[in-house]
Amino acid sequence: MVQRWRKHGGRAVALPGEDRDATGLTWTSLAENPLGREACGWAEAKPSSQVTMRQARSAMRELGMEAEVDAWVADQDADIQMAWRGDDMLRRDAPLLLQVAVAKDYPADLIDDLFFAAEAVTDPTRKVPL
């Protein structure tokens, strides 16, 4: 998994090699320089705790997981299928997601990647994150 960072709580991105702090001072080698990261407002990003199902499905498609997850859900009982189709939000700690991850042998970092990718999904009519 690629380590991601947020500047002042913004979108999760790769850490740049250099950045400027509020005073205009340039800090270099940010990956090895915790003082520079702090001065410039960078903090290690954690994946979102929940995303919309639309964001999740779009991210699954992007990561090549959608067909595999859909096939697994189709093989489950009606209650699980209804829950998967009927939920508006997908939580990182949702029992159903954990069942899918175990059944498909998805590592935790792939689930993190799913939530980072989902967080970046925008509404095509507004061009802003959902």
- The string of pLDDT tens digits covering residues 10-32 is 888 899 999 999 999 999 999 99
Length of the chain: 130
pLDDT at 32: 94
**Could you write out the DSSP letters of every residue in 37-105?**
HHHHTEEE----SEEEHHHHHHHHHHHT-HHHHHHHHHTS-HHHHHHHHH-SEEETT-HHHHHHHHHHT
Lowest-pLDDT range, 80-89, 98-107, 108-117?
80-89
Helix axes 66-74, 78-86, angle to 10 degrees: 140
Mean pLDDT across 47-74:
93
Half-sphere exposure of 64 (CA within 13 A, CB side): 2
Mean pLDDT of the chain: 89
Percentage of the chain lying above the pLDDT 70 cut: 93
pLDDT at 114: 94
pLDDT at 126: 54
Query: In the structure, what pLDDT confidence band is assigned to residue 120 with cuts at 50, 70 and 90?
Result: confident
pLDDT at 84: 87
Buried b (16+ CB within 10 A) or exposed e, 17-50: eebeeeeeeebeebeeeeebbebbebeebebbeb
